[in-house]
Chain A
Amino acid sequence: MDTIYIENEVLTHPRTIAMLKRFPNARQVPIERYTDVFNAPAQNFRIQKSNPALILANKHGNRVLPTPADYHIGGKNNYYFSHMLNCIYDCRYCFLQGMYRSANYVVFVNYEDFFHDIETTISTHSSPSWYFSGYDCDSLALEPMTHFIDECIDAFSHMPNGNLEIRTKSTQIRNLLSRPAIDNCVIAYSLSPEKIATQEEHKTPSVSKRIEALKSLQAHGWKIGLRFDPILKADNFESLYSELFDQVFSHLEIQSIHSVSLGPFRLPKPFFKKMIRLYPESSLLAANMHKRGNMLSYDEQSEQALLSFCETQLLKRIKPAQYFPCVSVS
């Protein structure tokens, strides 16, 4: 990290001080609000991705938000929260490229406020509710620096009516393996066929390493989830996804997998337009897309073919109770 912007409000926060110690040679730039840097015009996501700065900030309000309608794993009340904005990985299909002007990483250091808001939200429901981490970032990728997930699990261990999903592609699981698993937490890995991951999921751990991490977590007693989202179109998609499912399910104890979800490639139209400007050479983004409402996705026939093939393959291996498609599959 070469440049670290620090909100004046968190200059003396213990987590700020601890994180700054990790980067003694970084330029430190005091700022008033993180949005002054993060939302400024005339920024280029692609350029910043090659040398992102870190922004340490305080999150004021809107810390716990309802998820989109299809974003759930069986729960009725679903929320997401983001202690961080942006991701150290560089997946070509990721909506963050289209959503944010900046590729700099924002880390909110007021973790306790997130936990307080989650606790308050839990108390508004009579039945258990779900809280998803890893919507605007990868939950674990910067864990050695932030320790957020470690503290988050501590908090959820005292909130049995709240269920936590930690979504990630990272293999930074040392802390998770050094503590007992808790019952109301699912560690969910995003998985794509190895050949797609190599080409489209830049800087991520290989799929085989992710599966190794899942295996270790499962052996340690953590509930695990598999997220096949987005499913990408290719002429050879059947062989790609069959191989992936064989690879994944041959290494894991299938009965104890908490949940498996499946999602099509879809993006809001303005995000997609921005992404093709950033990456005109991307074959993934050059594919034919069709507008449905405000979203762009593959044509309906192709999408159904992809999802229905994957669904059939998955249901040969898992029970329907473990399966949660992000859209209806006909």
Chain B
Amino acid sequence: MSVTCLITALPSEARPLITHFGMRSFAHPHLKMHASDTMVLLQCGVGKLNAAVATATMLNSCPTVSSIINVGIAGSDQPLGETLIAHHVQDEASAQQWFPHLPSVRKLPKLTSVRVLSVDTPANDYKQHTAFDMEAAGIFAAATKVLDLAFIHSLKVVSDNKQINIEAITAESVHASIQCAIPAIEQLRDALPFDALPSTATTDALAEAVQARIHYTETEKHALVQLLNRHRALLKTLPSETELVQLESAKAIRHQLTKTIDQAHVEY
């Protein structure tokens, strides 16, 4: 099952999302997390270091998380309350950068894309086509170790600009801003390209079932998945679990699968 993780920095950013998506508190020894059936929310704290550490810990604890959407407020030259999506995330201090692979414009209408510059302290020199935040770079640094750039995104709601300065931000205004972003979060989640990934669920399930009953080394596990994928590709079917398990050893299963694959007919 594909689980999307929303990552916010502040409790006031998290609250409207927890309410809207019907999440409940999720007991984790080190992280502030909430969860529903298809989503989790991580409140990572302020700053890129907190963001990176919390993201890495979350990905380690929740292996079913297959996409991340960072949601938060940001300063920008864009109108107040506008939701923006990052086409470029950059850490101001190190200049390290990421380019999320965005879904098509058609799937995200009316969502302006900008560069998100992660700064170490709040900034107010509102540059063109740029939003300032303090977490996105940390989240991307950690998440790209595990996930593909098509599944890590950052949505920012403009909380301050040249007209309304940073001191005017309150918990209430943050809450209201994040509520404005909810339709964009839903659109983005629906637009994530899970359908472009290969479907390996049946092969993986069979491999796991066999490995639960027969001893496999890590190398053999990898070889089994490869052989099952080749079997399915060439013969358009998979052997049954019973058929494999009765061979009683990883080696015997490997020999049998190899023999079947060698004899497969390929016609166009």
A contact set with B: CB distance below 8 Å? 2-3, 5, 25-27, 29, 31, 36-37, 40-44, 46-51, 53, 193, 195-196, 199, 232-236, 240, 276, 278-283, 285-288
- Interface membership of B168, Cβ < 8 A: no
The reply to whether the CB of B198 lies closer than 8 angstroms to some CB of chain A is yes
The smallest C-beta distance from A161 to any residue of chain B, in angstroms, reads 42
B40-58 interface code vs A (CB 8 A; 1 in, 0 out): 0000000000000000000
Contact A5 B267 (CB under 8 A): no
Set B87, B147, B232: member contacting A3, Cβ < 8 A: B87
- Complex Cα distance, B268 from A196, in Å, reads 6
Q: B135-150 vs A: 1/0 string, CB under 8 Å?
A: 0000000001101111
Tell me the B193-238 residues at the A interface (CB within 8 Å).
193, 196-200, 203, 226, 229-230, 232-234
**B94 adjacent to chain A (CB < 8 Å):** no
Q: What B residues does A235 contact at CB under 8 A?
A: 265-267
Are B199 and A41 in contact (CB-based, < 8 A)?
A: no
Interchain nearest-CB distance for A97 vs B (Å): 13
- Sample of 14 A–B contacts (CB below 8 Å): A2-B102, A3-B113, A29-B87, A29-B113, A31-B88, A40-B98, A42-B149, A51-B104, A193-B268, A196-B268, A276-B229, A280-B233, A283-B233, A283-B266
Contacting residue for B233 out of A48, A49, A286, CB 8 A: A286
B268:A46 contact, CB within 8 angstroms: no
Contacts of B266 in A (CB 8 A): 233-235, 283, 287
A265 to chain B, nearest CB (A): 12
Residues of B contacting A286 in the complex (Cβ-Cβ under 8 angstroms): 229-230, 233-234, 261
Residue of B nearest to A232 (CB): B268
Chain B positions near chain A (C-beta within 8 angstroms):
87-88, 97-99, 101-106, 113, 115, 144-145, 147-150, 152, 193, 196-200, 203, 226, 229-230, 232-234, 261-262, 265-268
A324 to B145 CA separation, bound complex (whole angstroms):
46
Bound Cα distance A44, B200 (Å): 16
Known: A195-B268, A234-B268. A27 touches B105 (CB 8 A): yes
Say whether B230 contacts A279, CB under 8 Å.
no
Q: Which chain A residue has the least Cβ–Cβ distance from B203?
A: A280
A288 near B262: Cβ-Cβ < 8 Å: yes
- Give the shortest distance, in Å, between A9 (CB) and chain B (any CB): 17
Of chain B, the residue at the smallest CB distance from A29 is B87
Q: What's the Cα separation between A195 and B233 when bound, in Å?
A: 17
Q: Is the CB of A29 within 8 A of B99?
A: yes
Complex CA distance for A173 and B197, rounded to whole angstroms: 34
When C-beta atoms are compared, the residue in chain A nearest to B192 turns out to be A47
B105 — which chain A residues lie within 8 A by C-beta? 2, 25-27
Q: State in angstroms the CA–CA spacing of A311 and B42 once bound together.
A: 63
Give the contacting residue for B198; candidates A50, A53, A240, A279; CB below 8 A: A279
Neighbouring A residues of B193 by C-beta, 8 Å: 47, 50-51
For A240, give the chain B residue with the smallest CB separation: B268
Question: Are A199 and B101 in contact, with the CB atoms below 8 A?
Answer: no
Task: Give the docked Cα–Cα distance between A232 and B144 (Å).
Answer: 37
Minimum C-beta distance from B233 to chain A (A):
4
B261 close to A48 (CB less than 8 A): no
B268 touches A199 (CB 8 A): yes
Least CB separation from B146: chain A residue = A42
Of listed A42, A46, A288, residue having the most chain B CB within 10 A? A42
- Contact residue among A2, A46, A236, A287 (Cβ-Cβ distance under 8 Å from B196): A46
> Which B residue sits closest to A23, measured CB to CB?
B105
Q: How far is the CA of A280 from the CA of B238 in the complex (A)?
A: 13
Cα separation A319 to B152 with both chains bound (whole Å): 57
* Chain A residues, CB < 8 A from B106: 2
**Complex alpha-carbon distance, A287 and B200, angstroms:** 18
Q: Is the CB of B200 within 8 A of A43?
A: no
B199 surroundings in chain A (CB, below 8 A):
281
Residues of A within 8 A of B230 (CB): 286
B104 neighbours in A (Cβ, 8 Å): 2, 51
**Is B87 within 8 A of A27, CB to CB?**
yes
Q: Are A47 and B234 in contact (CB under 8 A)?
A: no
Residues A276 and B198 in contact in the complex (CB < 8 Å), given A47-B148, A235-B267 = no
List 9 other contacts, CB 8 Å, given A44-B149, A46-B198.
A5-B99, A31-B99, A42-B145, A48-B150, A51-B104, A195-B268, A276-B229, A283-B234, A285-B233
Closest to A288 in B: B262
Instruction: Using CB atoms, name the residue of chain A closest to B200.
Output: A280
Query: Knowing A233-B266, A278-B198, A279-B198 touch, does A47 contact B101 (C-beta < 8 A)?
Result: yes
Nearest CB of A to B213, in Å: 23
Question: Is there contact, CB below 8 Å, between A43 and B149?
Answer: yes
Closest CB-CB distance, B262 to chain A, in whole Å? 6
A51 to B233 alpha-carbon distance, docked (Å):
25
Pairwise interchain contact B198-A48, C-beta atoms closer than 8 A: no
The 9 A-B pairs at the shortest CB distance, nearest first, are namely A286-B233, A42-B144, A280-B229, A286-B230, A195-B268, A44-B148, A50-B196, A2-B104, A47-B196
